[in-house]
Structures are given as C-alpha cells and as structure tokens.
Structure 1
Amino acid sequence: MNVREAESGRLLAAVSAILAERGLVSADELAERVAVTEAASPAQGARIVARAWREPDFRALLLRDGTAAAEAAGVFMRGMPPLGVLENAPEIHNVVVCTLCSCYPRAVLGYPPFWFKSPAYRARTVRDPRGVLAEWGTVIPDDVRIRVVDSTADYRWMVLPTRPAGTEGWSEERLAGLVRASDMIGVTCPDAQG
C-alpha cells in the first residue's frame, strides 16, 4: 500500500467513525454499501435488459421506474440517485453522457469505463453524436433521431437497447450474454451474430 492509499484509508475510517458516532449511518451499513458497490457490474444491467426483452410487464416497470425494476431484479438501490431507462426504437436511438464528470448508474452497471469519463467522449458526444457512434462501429440511419441524454448527480440513465432479431426463444441467460456496458450507454448495439 502506498502513502496515498494509506492516507485515504485513514480519512475514510475517520469519516466513517464520525457518521456512526452521530447515528447517521452504522458501520454495518457502510460495509454493506461498499460490498454492493464492489459487486456491481455490467452483468447486472445485462440481466435486467434480458429480462425486459422477455417479460413485457417487467419492461413496462423498467421504463416507468428504473429504480423499482432494478430492485425487483435484486440490485440494491437504496441511497442511489433514481434510475431512468431510455428505450431504443426504430425511430430513436439514445446515447448517455455525463457532460460534467462521470455520473453513471454504478449500482446497475458497475464502475464507468474509462472512455465514459474522458473529456473527449463527454464533449464530442453532445456536439457530434453520429460521428462518435460511427467510431464505435454504430451507424445510425439518417432517418433515425439520436437523442443524447445527460446523466447527472440527481438522475442516472441507462439505455434499453433493441433486442436483436433472431433471438426469439432464447433464455434470459443467453440474451444477457449479448449485452455489453456500451450497449446500455447507447454507443453500441447488441448483435446476435456477435
């Protein structure tokens, strides 16, 4: 452990002790939150997407109240900003960006990928979304509107991508295997041919 990590550890311990002493949060609650955060990964979001593709009622809940749907899928959301879910459709393609920093639905997708936090992605996606998507190999037809949505500290967003053709009858597990973090941000689209 280097000096910076040691100092960060001491600071975290001191803040945790103060929070516990004042009755704001217990040591167990902090430990639980750390464990949940460390366990979060794009696989959780992929399971949610696959379930939405297979279950119309769950899909409706996901689009109406992403936080409630995530909790119904077993994702711990207490204390997290609300989760909004944008559905890609034949006439619209959604892409998520955080223009100020790296606000990301961590509880559902884990830590943001390095590119999501980069100043280039954040700035260019707003100015030239088609160009950015094309660099990812995602070519959106000219007649499809691209909506860029800003994730914020108050509200986090993810994308419900379009289910790939030819996946009818697939299990939830097999469908989830198609979904990448970049699909749930909208810079790529799942592909059954993979």
Structure 2
Amino acid sequence: MPHDHDDHSHLDDETARVMALEKLLADKGLIDPAALDVVLDTYETKVGPRNGAKVVARAWTDPEFAQALKEDATTAIHDMGFAGRQGEHITAVYNTPDTHNLVVCTLCSCYPWSVLGLPPTWYKSTPYRARAVSEPRAVLGEFGVTLPDETAIRVWDSTAEMRYLVIPMRPAGTEGLEADALEQMVSRDSMIGTALAGMSA
C-alpha cells in the first residue's frame, strides 16, 4: 500500500521548530527540561502503551474478542474506548511460533498513538526504518530478541492509511493469571515487535 504522507509533510522542519521552541522556553526559565522529559517519558512508556496492553491481555483471555480483533481491529479497539489521532485504521497481527511480526514506517513515523502512546525516538530514526526491512533478524537481535531460525519474520510497513498492532504470544505458564496481571507483561516494544511479552526492559 503506498504511503500518503500529507499529514507528515515537513516532519524534519517541524521537529527542528519544536526543539528550537523548547530551547527558547528553557533559556527563559519558562519550562524545566528535566520535568518535560519526565512527562514525555510517562506518555511514551507508561500511559499510552497501557491501552495497548489492555487490548493484548483481552485478546489472550477472550477468544471472541481475539477473533473480532483479527477481523476488524479498528472497531474492536475503538469499542474499548481507545480512539484518536493515528488510531483511525489499525490491523492486529498475531505472533505465532512460526511467524514473528515487526512494525516499521519506512518513510516517516506512522504509529498507532491511541494504543501505544508517543512513538519512541528509535522508531523514527533512519537506521531503524531502513534496517528493519533489510535485516530484521539482526535488528531484533540488537533489541535482545533471538528467534529460532525456522521462525519467519514478517515486516509490516505502517502508513497513513493503516497502522499495525502486534499481538505478542502469551508467555508460557500464565494460564491462571487474570487480565490485570497479564497486562504488566505487555510492553510497548512487544506491540511493535522489537520485544517479546514478558521480556525485561
């Protein structure tokens, strides 16, 4: 599917302007860069990804929801109350012992904010965007994910028309856990495909 980057035009210019504005406000003492970093980290790694973790845990524990998520992830996710910017069209892709899914946006940084929060810096970096496609197994290794040789890696190119949510495999030995406990095993990176559920950060 071709990229439509109308809503991502001049991304580098916008980033430069934001950084310049942040520096100006910090120089004038109007913001504390350290406090801003804490706020951004909260939304990037804690608040936002918790929505996605709820979706994953429900898919692990509710077969009807898992099927609905496969058939129409956008509606299933919106029905849980998670909608908003860059979450208009989402496809859920399921990891299995045979296939591991990895998400990238090769030309910009399309990303499902409504379920994953703010995109991490590395997701927007040129090396990740290029190498995730050309050498995904090596990239996964750098994130600490080593897969069996027989496990295929499927790379999904996120676009303005469609974004992807990886449903990681449920960790072994968790059959008796409730959804709340399962959610804690689901990281943002596992829903991008650069980690496994239950991996230590």
Aligned to 1:108: 115
5+ residue gaps in structure 1? 6-36
Counterpart code for 1:63: K
Distance 1:192 1:119, change over 3 A: closer
1:143 pairs with 2:150: yes
- Is the Cα–Cα contact under 8 Å of residues 70 and 77 in structure 1 kept in the other structure? no
- Aligned equivalents of 1:113 and 1:60: distance in 2? 29
- Is the Cα–Cα contact under 8 Å of residues 189 and 195 in structure 2 kept in the other structure? yes
Distance 1:193 1:128, change over 3 A: closer
Q: Aligned runs of 1:38-117 on 2, under 5 Å?
A: 41-77=48-84, 80-117=87-124
Indicate which of 182, 187, 194 corresponds to 2:194. Answer: 187
Distance 1:78 1:192, change over 3 A: closer
TM-score of the pair, normalised by structure 1: 0.77
1:133 pairs with 2:134: no
RMSD of the alignment, in Å? 2.5
Indicate which of 169, 176, 179 corresponds to 2:183. Answer: 176
TM-score of the pair, normalised by structure 2: 0.75
How many Å apart are 1:44 and its aligned residue? 0.3
- Aligned equivalents of 1:133 and 1:176: distance in 2? 22
1:154 pairs with 2:154: no
Helix, strand or coil: the match of 1:183?
Answer: helix
Distance 1:78 1:126, change over 3 A: closer
5+ residue gaps in structure 2? 1-18, 23-42
Counterpart code for 1:107: S
How many Å apart are 1:79 and its aligned residue? 7.7
1:167 pairs with 2:174: yes
Aligned residues: 163
Helix, strand or coil: the match of 1:137?
Answer: coil
Please say which of residues 39-48 and 81-90 is displaced more in the overlay.
39-48
Q: Deviations over 1:57-91 (max 9, x none)?
A: 00111111111111122212488431001000111
Counterpart code for 2:196: C
Aligned to 1:118: 125
What is the identity percentage for the equivalent residue pairs of Structure 1 and Structure 2?
Answer: 46
Distance 1:55 1:131, change over 3 A: same
Helix, strand or coil: the match of 2:194?
Answer: coil
